[in-house]
Amino acid sequence: MNALLALEDGRTFKCRSFTGPGEARGEVVFNTSMTGYQEVLTDPSYSGQLVTMTYPLVGNYGINREDIESGGIQVAAFLIKEYQPYHSNYRATFSLAEYLKSQDIIGVEGLDTRALTRHIRKAGAMRALLTTHDLDPDSCVAKARALPGMEGQDLASTVTTGAPYRWAGDAPVPLDAAGGVDALDRGVWQARSRRHSVVAMDFGIKYNILRCLDQAGFEVVVVPAATPADTIRAMAPSGIFLSNGPGDPEPVRYAIETIRELIDYRPMFGICLGHQLMGLALGGSTYKLKFGHRGANQPVKHLASGRIEITSQNHGFAVDIDSLKDKDIEITHINLNDNTLEGFRSRRYPLYAVQYHPEASPGPHDARYLFADFNRLMDEATQ
């Protein structure tokens, strides 16, 4: 079935839908990973985006039930060069097309993904319309131009959990019937374990970060993005984790204020959107990158050791590195592709953050020390 991708700057791309009729609107971006399309599809950080894979052949290992990162598909649409309908992985339970169609997400192939990626790198990520319904280029471009941009939108509130839950091994578990977070004082929460307890603020959290926190020895309760500081204090955790998530950090003002109130309360660790929100809470500023960092091959330099970490990233905004100078902040990591800020820590408080995803494994274990650092900070805070 013929389809058309129209960008706000007037560029259009012909393609074919492999999922039947459909339409999607949002920001078009690209991901440079060679594998991991299932994780990409279910990453809440992609909410509202049409995702292009630069690797040409997609679908060959199908979809399994183990590698999802959230409760469902998060992308607005999936754009690829060539779809492989015959999957051949022993873990697969259905095809990529079946998975997309089950959640009414349009997928297209036959797209010149190389040309689209080069165009985005030159012109920047932009608003786009993908449709099988209206193939008139002028009409589709006009519709794309009428869409709202990513700037100024609080997307974290659209993907966060509706209620707190406990992470148990490999799955979310609802809290006791009495509760809500308000019912969880320190004694109740820690009755099941002697491990450090962590409150994870969910701005679009991935399941694998929860697995990593659990494997690192932490007992984790996930709370909605708008959970106030007083509620988190009442839970008396050992530490606070700020998750990844989609979109512009500046409109997420409620979370920035909560983080600011908790800066000197417990050790704090932030990633991705959590990194940006922590930077804003400390008095820094953020800005939109031209085409973002999305892929599993981003080189990051750890300044203290000089080591180069190969990292997985998915974000379109960044903390202005100059805005954190003279604020008692140590810059710990930089991106070697564009020298943007990738990590910082406070010299006054037990908190730190990185822009990349330490739970992913492109390195494959380059970032695991970050969980050990979190554990050490909590050990020191409880001595």
Q: Write the single-letter amino acid at 190.
A: Q
Cα separation of 355 and 44, whole Å?
16
The confidence band for 187, taking pLDDT boundaries of 50, 70 and 90, is very low
Phi, psi of 174 (to 5 degrees): -60, 150
Q: Are residue 198 and residue 86 in the same domain, yes or no?
A: no
- Among the candidates 145, 177, 194, a domain finishes at 145
Closest residue by Cα to residue 32 from 51, 5, 16, 18: 51
Res 382: pLDDT? 81
Q: Are residue 135 and residue 87 in the same domain, yes or no?
A: yes
C-beta separation of 45 from 272 below 8 A = yes
- Asked if residue 17 has pLDDT above 70, the reply is yes
Query: Exposure of 207 by Cβ count < 10 A (0-12 exposed, 13-18 middle, 19+ buried)?
Result: buried
Q: Write the single-letter amino acid at 310.
A: I
The confidence band for 64, taking pLDDT boundaries of 50, 70 and 90, is very high
Res 194: pLDDT? 55
C-beta separation of 291 from 315 below 8 A = no
Nearest-10 Cα torsion for 286, 291, 293, 296: 170
For this structure, is 140 an active site residue? no
Instruction: Kindly report each contact of residues 360-368 with a partner whose C-beta sits within 8 Å and lies 24 or more positions away, as own/partner.
Output: 360/39, 360/208, 360/296, 360/311, 360/312, 361/312, 362/296, 362/297, 362/310, 362/311, 362/312, 363/309, 363/310, 363/311, 366/307, 366/309, 366/310, 366/311, 367/309, 367/311
Q: Are residue 73 and residue 206 in the same domain, yes or no?
A: no
Cα separation of 150 and 288, whole Å?
9
The confidence band for 302, taking pLDDT boundaries of 50, 70 and 90, is very high
- Asked if residue 222 has pLDDT above 60, the reply is yes
The range of the structural domain enclosing residue 57 comes to: 2-145
Nearest-10 Cα torsion for 106, 297, 217, 170: 20
Which positions ≥6 away from 320 have C-beta within 8 Å? 284, 285, 286, 287, 341
Mean pLDDT, the chain, rounded, equals 92
Res 325: pLDDT? 87
Token pair belonging to 380 = 């020191």
Res 326: pLDDT? 82
Segment 299-313 mean pLDDT: 94
Q: What is the largest CA-CA distance in the chain?
A: 67
Cα separation of 95 and 105, whole Å?
14
129-133, 285-289, 354-358, 363-367, range with the lowest pLDDT: 363-367
The confidence band for 364, taking pLDDT boundaries of 50, 70 and 90, is low
The CATH number for 48's domain is 3.50.30.20
- What percent of the chain shows pLDDT beyond 90? 85
Closest residue by Cα to residue 45 from 289, 251, 288, 246: 246
Res 23: pLDDT? 97
For residue 242, the 8-state DSSP code is E
For residue 181, the 8-state DSSP code is G
Segment 34-54 mean pLDDT: 95
Q: Are residue 131 and residue 173 in the same domain, yes or no?
A: no
Segment 275-296 mean pLDDT: 96
Token pair belonging to 127 = 């608003």
Residue 178 lies in a domain: yes
The CATH number for 242's domain is 3.40.50.880
In the set 119, 275, 333, 357, the catalytic residue is: 357
Residue 151 lies in a domain: no
Residue pLDDT, tens place only, 69-112? 999 999 999 999 999 999 999 999 999 999 999 999 999 999 99
Q: Are residue 262 and residue 338 in the same domain, yes or no?
A: yes
Residue 150 lies in a domain: no
191-200, 215-224, 231-240, 244-253, range with the lowest pLDDT: 191-200
C-beta separation of 343 from 333 below 8 A = yes
53-62, 168-177, 272-281, range with the lowest pLDDT: 168-177
Segment 212-225 mean pLDDT: 93
Domain count of the fold of the chain = 2
Note the residue count of the chain. 383
C-beta separation of 381 from 238 below 8 A = yes
The confidence band for 176, taking pLDDT boundaries of 50, 70 and 90, is low
Q: Write the single-letter amino acid at 81.
A: K
For residue 46, the 8-state DSSP code is G
For this structure, is 196 an active site residue? no
For residue 143, the SS3 value is helix
Residue keyed to tokens 């319309």: 129
Segment 268-283 mean pLDDT: 98
Res 159: pLDDT? 97
Cα separation of 141 and 320, whole Å?
32
CB atoms within 10 A of CB 345: 19
Q: Are residue 44 and residue 77 in the same domain, yes or no?
A: yes
Cα separation of 49 and 150, whole Å?
9
Model-level pTM?
Answer: 0.93
Closest residue by Cα to residue 75 from 133, 8, 30: 30
- Among the candidates 145, 171, 205, a domain finishes at 145
HSE of 144 in the Cβ direction (CA atoms, 13 Å)?
29
Q: CA Rg, the chain, in Å? A: 21
Q: Are residue 225 and residue 90 in the same domain, yes or no?
A: no
- Among the candidates 85, 119, 145, a domain finishes at 145
Q: Are residue 65 and residue 179 in the same domain, yes or no?
A: no
In the set 8, 39, 109, 359, the catalytic residue is: 359
Res 177: pLDDT? 42
Segment 127-132 mean pLDDT: 98
In the set 87, 219, 272, 315, the catalytic residue is: 272
End-to-end Cα distance, the chain: 64
Segment 25-52 mean pLDDT: 95
